Chains A and B, each alone.
Chain A
Amino acid sequence: MFSFCTDPASLPQLEWFACYLTTGKHMAFYGSFLVVLLLLLVTAPVALAFGFGGAMAARARFAPLRWFGKGYTAVVRGVPDIAFFMFFVIALDQGIEWLRHKIRCPDWEQPIRQGNDFVVCAQAKMPLSNAAQWVHEAYGFTLAVLTFSIVFGAFAANVLFGAMRAVPRAQVETAEAYGMTHRQAFWRITVPQMWIYALPGLSNLWMILIKATPLLFLLGVEDIVYWARELGGAKTSAYSYPHPDWRLWYFLALLVFYLGLTRVSEIVLGRITARLSHGQATLGGQALRKGAG
């Protein structure tokens, strides 16, 4: 980074740290904070979509769909997320490649499972083995987002299911009395109104999601915990910057990061709650009205 960093061993303390903290590895560490934030921002809407789908399925009048919706939420929530992450990504990856294999190489005669090996034709590889570096990274990241979304979608489905039921029945009945179909009443009355009931549950889910991100390294994304461990571990002189075990300091930095993220989220979610409470016949809404009047 700096011009004086060519021979770290000879540097005085201050310069040594200036160089140490700007190595390529540290840059990757700082970058991983952005990866975590990006994952949070991408996963939240995707998980919400999964949750919405799950909640709709659980409400469906077609029984098998309803069983599927309820089964999805019950099973995924019953399992600790680590256990899920330990095998799910490989399963997902193999599933995708198996599908592509069936479509792209219909006349492949060798078996896909050869002993312990999982072998698909070269065109079905995901991503193709000669694909550029960033494609592999993007694919790994997408799998992580998908896995997180499936897990957190199950929780979101549960919250949204409850929120849909919390919308006062009379509102839907009124809509139907005005001649709306079941579908219209759902989309025009239930969906716009359910958010205020869903918000406490969803904000908690967001907090949960923040704290689940250290598990990202199980999914193969090099996240902040991976780098904190890697950078903090004692380094012998095989490295340019040897140092003793500094994991404590790195983990303390992570602690500050997570506490900060939690605090910012609390403030933002508090504002959203206040906004959504406007004109709602809930205790929060009443309080806002009184405050304004």
Chain B
Amino acid sequence: MNSCLETIRDYALRSIGIGERLLPRADITLCEQFTLIGSGLIWNIYFGALALFFGFFLATAVALARGARNALLRKPAQWFIFVFRGSPLFIQFFLFYEAFVLLPKMGIDINLGFVEITAETRWLTRAWLGALIVLFLNTAAYSGEIFYGALRAVPQGDIEAADAYGLTGWRKFRRIVWPTMLRLAWPAYTNEAIFLFHATTLVYFSGFPAWQQKGDALYYANYFADKTFNPFIPYPILAGYFILLTLAIIAVFGLINRRLNRHLPQERRQMLRFRPNYIR
């Protein structure tokens, strides 16, 4: 038991480079497998949470552009959604990585007039930034489609009521359209969040190289399967962690859902249903 605590101390943060430098190589214990795979989960959460957070804003913009009357706005949004929803994430990772590698290594100087910023393009080939960008664009496309559907389902009466109260422009959007859209989109958006977290396992598996053996949960599960030649222990551990993660996401999104629906009479509150509407 004591040795397990030591293992946790050595490896719990290994995936972000803190702790023992070398991975366990021989006589691998269950404790080591649980600790390291759990450590890798930090990256899955990092990718999932940040992509979801940034993607949320882009998705709203994409949904509005997709519904715009102006073809200059509508067409690019339609194509963006079609390309990212119509192709496997696998291929998106590959193409983006190839493109990022081609960028000059030196960094690009951006002159903003008063201050000069050097954009470090070399970070783009690292998973923490490059993969995050791909996941961000990907989830923005999926959520954009969900939000667009919800936008079209906003009841006409709500809009008319807003007009009657004299709300216009930004205020009407912020106070009436947007909250209703979110409320309608929330069940499907919850699914998107779950699938995004599942998709983060592809980052090191097919997309980006792992540096200094710092990888996500699947990377370590793969490592142990490779070292022990027994796939029946590490992968079920990984599966167990993900079931817990999925439950946590459902709980958090359920809380937000309750808040979004708090003004509705009890029986009309939409039950948060976990239905598989969107995935990559």
Q: Which residues of A contact B (CB under 8 A)?
A: 75, 77-84, 86-87, 90-91, 116, 155, 158-159, 162, 200-201, 204-205, 207-208, 211-215, 225, 247-248, 251-252, 254-255, 258-259, 262-263
Q: If A81-B198, A208-B276, A254-B91 touch, does A262 touch B232 (CB 8 Å cutoff)? A: no
User: Chain A's interface: helix, strand, loop or mixed, by majority?
Assistant: helix
CB distance from B250 to the nearest CB of A (A): 9
A262-B82 in contact (CB<8A) = yes
Q: Is B87 an interface residue (CB 8 A)?
A: yes
- 6 cross-chain pairs, A with B, having the tightest CB-CB distances, nearest first: A262-B86, A80-B198, A78-B243, A155-B276, A78-B246, A87-B231
With contacts A79-B243, A83-B242, A248-B98 taken as known, whether A214 is within 8 angstroms of B91 at the C-beta atoms is yes
What distance in Å separates the Cβ of A198 from its nearest Cβ neighbour in chain B? 10
Q: B95's contact among A91, A255, A262, by CB below 8 Å, is which?
A: A255
**CB <8 Å contact, B87 and A91:** no
- Whether A204 contacts B87 by the Cβ 8 Å rule is no
A211 near B239: Cβ-Cβ < 8 Å: no
Q: A79-B239, A82-B201, A201-B276 are in contact. Are A259 and B246 (CB under 8 A)?
A: no
Shortest beta-carbon distance, A84 to chain B, in Å? 7
A-B contact pairs, 26 of them (CB 8 A): A77-B194, A77-B276, A78-B239, A78-B242, A78-B247, A82-B202, A82-B218, A83-B201, A83-B221, A83-B238, A83-B239, A86-B225, A90-B232, A162-B275, A200-B277, A204-B276, A211-B87, A211-B279, A211-B280, A214-B90, A215-B90, A248-B95, A258-B91, A259-B82, A259-B87, A262-B82
Chain B residue nearest in CB terms to A263: B86
Give bound CA distance, A62 to B32, whole Å: 41
Contacts of A225 in B (CB 8 A): 90
Chain B facing A: main interface SS: helix
Q: Which of B233-254 contact A (CB under 8 A)?
A: 235-236, 238-239, 242-243, 246-247
B218 touches A259 (CB 8 A): no
User: With the chains together, A207 CA to B277 CA distance in Å?
Assistant: 10
The residue in chain A whose Cβ has the minimal distance to the Cβ of B94 is A251
Which B residues are in CB contact (< 8 Å) with A214?
Answer: 88, 90-91
Interface bin, chain B: 35 or more
A-B contact sample (19 more), CB < 8 A, given A80-B238, A158-B274, A159-B276: A77-B246, A77-B276, A78-B243, A83-B238, A84-B239, A86-B231, A87-B225, A87-B232, A87-B236, A159-B275, A162-B275, A201-B275, A208-B280, A211-B88, A211-B89, A212-B279, A215-B90, A251-B94, A259-B87
Question: Complex: how many Å from CA A83 to CA B243?
Answer: 11
Shortest beta-carbon distance from B241 to chain A in Å: 9
Cβ-defined contact, B98 with A77, below 8 A: no
Chain A min CB distance to B93 (Å):
10
Query: Chain B residues with Cβ under 8 A from A262's Cβ?
Result: 82, 85-87
B83, B222, B229, B277 pick with most chain A CB within 10 angstroms: B277
